[in-house]
C-alpha cells in the first residue's frame, strides 16, 4: 500500500487530476428468471446477472454474462458509452445510436416490483421469424426511478422510468430483485491507465479463450450434455467438474457459484466447497473477508469460513467496517455492531458509510457526520462528507469548497480547495481555485513537497 501510494503521488504531481465526487445513487440487482412462456410461472431459481447503479445523469452496470465480467459506463448527456473488461485490462467505446422501435404504453396495468409501483410498456420485436405467435417484449418500469440502460438494452432509453422487469416471448425474463440506496463515484468513470482500447474483445480465437478465464490458468467450460459449468486449465484438464449453473470470476481465492440445486455457495481455486450451497443470494468482499448472504429476501453476513456473523434478518446490510455495519429495515437505516447488536436504531433515510467511530447520514441530499456511540450529529448540512484512512479526518464539501472535518465536527483543515482526495498514508492531494497544480498536504494541512513525501513513505515501508 505504501509503495502503491508513492507511485500514485508521483503520477498526481506529473499530471492534471480530476477530483471525484461521490454521489447518492440507487443500486438495482437484476437476475435472469426462467419462466413458463404459457402461464408466466417461474421454473427455476433466479440467476444474478446485473448489478446496476444509477443517478439522474450517470449509469454503471456490472455484468457477469457469459462468465466475463464487464462494467458498462454511461453519462446520459453524452452520445457514447464505455465498457471495461477488468480481467483483460481492456476497454471498448461505443457510439450511442437512437433505438428504432414501436413502443406502446399500456394503460391500467400496474404491479409492484422490488417495492416500487410499476407501469407496463410493450415493444413489438422486429425480425423475429423464428418465434411463432407472440413477439412482444413486456417492460415494467417505475416512474419513481431514473432511466437506466446498458449494452444490448438501448431500447430502455425511451422508457419513461427505470426498468425493473423485462418479459420476453422466450420465457427468459430479467427481473429486479432488490432496489437500495447506494453511491456512485465519479472516479468509476475514469478508464484505468493500464487498460488498452480495442475495437472488440472478440477479435480472435485466443481472445475468445481469455474471455472465459476465471482465474490464473482456470477457464470456464460447459458440459454439452448437462449444460452445467465447470473449470479447466489451459491444457483442458478438468479442475472443477461441471456441477454449476453459474460461476463468478475468482476474487482472491474465492468464487461464488450457483449449484445445480439452484442455491448459491462458494468454492476455492481447486473446487473445494468453502461455503455450502444453501443461499438464495451470495457475494464476497475480499478486503473484509466477509460474505453477504440472502435467504427469503433477508440478508446477513458470514465470515470467510462460513460462520454466521450477523443473521439474515435485514432488508439489506453492508460489510462490517471498523466493528460496525449499516443495516436497512422498514426502508430506514441504522448501525449494528459486529456481534449483531443494534447500536443505532433504523431511523435514518440513508447511511452512506461508516468507520469505527462515526457514520455518514444523508437526508434530502445533505450530509451529516454522526457519532456512533452517542447517535448525535457532530456536523450537519454539508454537500458531501466521506470517511478517509485517517479515522479522525473526514473529507467534506460545502458551497463548492473542500476541506476536512474532525470527529467533533470542527474544521480541521480549512475549506479553501476546489478539489480534494481522501487521506491515504497520511497524505491527501488538493487543488486551489484557478490552478491545475496538484498539492500534497499532510494531516495538519501543511503542504508537503514530493521528495519529502517520498522520504516519509519510505521510512514507513
Question: Hey, where are the domains in the chain?
Answer: 1-19+350-461, 23-184
pLDDT of residue 364: 84
Residues belonging to the chain: 461
Per the structure block, which three cell numbers stand in for 394?
473526514
Task: Compute the mean pLDDT over every residue in the chain, rounded to the nearest whole number.
Answer: 83
pLDDT band (50, 70, 90) for residue 2: very low
Q: Which CATH entry fits the domain spanning 1-19+350-461: 2.40.128, 1.25.40, 2.30.30, 3.40.91?
A: 2.40.128
Q: What is the pLDDT of residue 459?
A: 53
Please say whether the beta carbons of 351 and 360 come within 8 A: yes
Residue range 315-372, pLDDT digits in tens: 889 999 999 999 999 889 999 999 999 999 999 998 989 999 999 998 888 899 999 9
- Architecture category of domain 23-184 in CATH: Clam (2.50)
pLDDT of residue 397 exceeding 70, the answer is yes
User: pLDDT digits over 36-61, tens only?
Assistant: 544 454 445 667 788 999 998 899 99
At residue 452, the 3 state secondary structure works out as helix
Could you tell me the pLDDT band of residue 104, with boundaries at 50, 70 and 90?
A: confident
CA angle, 353 then 355 then 361, to 5°: 35
Predicted local distance difference test score (pLDDT) of residue 126: 60
Higher pLDDT, 302 or 17: 302
Edge-to-edge order in the sheet of strand 90-95: 103-113, 116-124, 136-142, 162-167, 172-185, 22-34, 47-54, 58-63, 70-75, 80-85, 90-95, 196-197
Q: List, for residues 60-93, the tens digit of each pLDDT value.
A: 999 876 556 899 999 988 888 999 988 788 899 9
Cell 472535518, residue? 405
Q: Give the separation between CA 182 and CA 43, rounded to whole angstroms.
A: 31
Q: Which distant-in-sequence residues (6+ apart) come within 8 Å of 239 by Cβ?
A: 218, 230, 231, 232, 233, 270, 271
Contact present, 283 and 64 (Cβ < 8 Å): no
Amino acid at each position: 500500500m505504501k509503495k502503491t501510494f508513492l507511485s500514485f503521488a508521483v503520477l498526481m504531481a506529473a499530471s492534471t487530476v480530476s477530483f471525484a465526487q461521490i454521489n447518492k445513487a440507487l443500486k438495482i440487482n437484476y437476475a435472469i428468471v426462467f419462466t413458463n412462456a404459457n402461464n408466466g410461472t417461474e421454473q427455476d431459481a433466479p440467476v444474478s446477472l446485473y448489478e446496476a447503479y444509477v443517478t439522474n445523469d450517470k449509469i454503471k452496470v456490472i455484468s457477469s454474462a457469459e462468465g466475463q465480467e464487464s462494467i458498462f459506463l454511461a453519462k446520459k448527456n453524452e452520445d457514447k458509452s464505455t465498457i471495461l473488461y477488468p480481467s483483460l485490462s481492456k476497454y471498448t467505446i461505443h457510439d450511442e445510436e437512437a433505438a428504432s422501435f414501436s413502443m406502446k404504453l399500456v394503460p391500467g396495468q400496474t404491479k409492484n416490483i422490488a417495492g416500487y409501483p410499476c407501469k407496463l410498456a410493450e415493444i413489438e420485436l422486429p425480425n423475429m421469424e423464428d418465434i411463432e405467435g407472440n413477439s412482444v417484449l413486456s417492460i415494467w418500469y417505475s416512474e419513481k426511478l431514473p432511466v437506466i440502460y446498458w449494452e444490448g438494452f438501448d431500447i430502455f432509453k425511451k422508457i419513461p422510468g427505470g426498468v425493473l422487469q423485462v418479459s420476453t416471448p422466450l420465457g427468459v425474463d430479467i427481473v429486479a430483485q432488490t432496489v437500495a440506496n447506494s453511491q456512485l463515484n465519479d472516479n468509476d468513470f475514469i478508464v484505468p491507465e493500464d487498460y488498452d482500447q480495442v475495437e472488440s474483445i472478440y477479435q480472435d480465437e485466443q481472445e475468445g479463450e481469455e474471455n472465459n478465464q476465471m482465474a490464473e490458468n482456470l477457464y470456464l467450460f460447459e458440459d454439452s450434455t448437462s449444460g452445467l459449468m465447470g473449470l479447466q486449465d489451459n491444457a483442458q484438464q478438468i479442475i472443477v467438474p461441471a456441477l454449476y449453473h453459474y460461476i463468478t470470476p475468482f476474487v482472491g481465492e474465492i468464487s461464488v457459484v450457483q449449484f445445480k440445486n439452484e442455491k448459491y455457495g462458494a468454492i476455492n481455486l481447486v473446487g473445494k466447497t468453502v461455503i455450502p450451497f444453501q443461499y438464495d443470494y451470495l457475494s464476497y468482499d475480499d478486503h473484509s473477508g466477509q460474505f453477504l448472504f440472502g435467504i427469503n429476501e433477508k440478508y446477513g453476513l458470514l465470515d470467510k469460513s462460513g460462520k454466521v456473523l450477523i443473521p439474515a434478518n435485514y432488508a439489506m446490510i453492508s460489510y462490517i467496517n471498523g466493528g460496525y455495519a449499516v443495516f436497512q429495515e422498514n426502508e430506514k437505516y441504522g448501525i449494528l455492531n459486529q456481534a449483531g447488536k443494534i447500536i443505532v436504531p433504523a431511523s435514518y433515510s440513508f447511511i452512506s458509510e461508516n468507520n469505527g467511530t462515526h457514520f455518514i447520514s444523508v437526508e434530502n441530499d445533505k450530509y451529516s457526520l454522526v457519532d456512533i456511540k452517542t447517535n448525535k450529529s457532530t456536523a450537519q448540512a454539508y454537500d458531501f462528507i466521506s470517511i478517509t484512512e485517517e479515522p479522525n479526518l473526514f473529507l467534506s464539501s460545502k458551497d463548492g469548497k473542500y476541506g476536512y472535518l474532525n470527529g467533533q465536527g470542527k474544521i480541521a483543515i480549512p475549506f479553501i480547495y476546489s478539489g480534494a482526495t481522501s487521506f491515504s498514508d497520511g497524505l491527501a492531494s488538493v487543488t486551489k481555485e484557478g490552478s491545475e497544480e496538484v498539492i500534497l498536504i499532510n494531516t495538519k494541512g501543511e503542504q508537503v513537497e514530493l521528495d519529502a513525501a517520498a522520504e516519509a513513505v519510505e521510512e514507513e515501508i
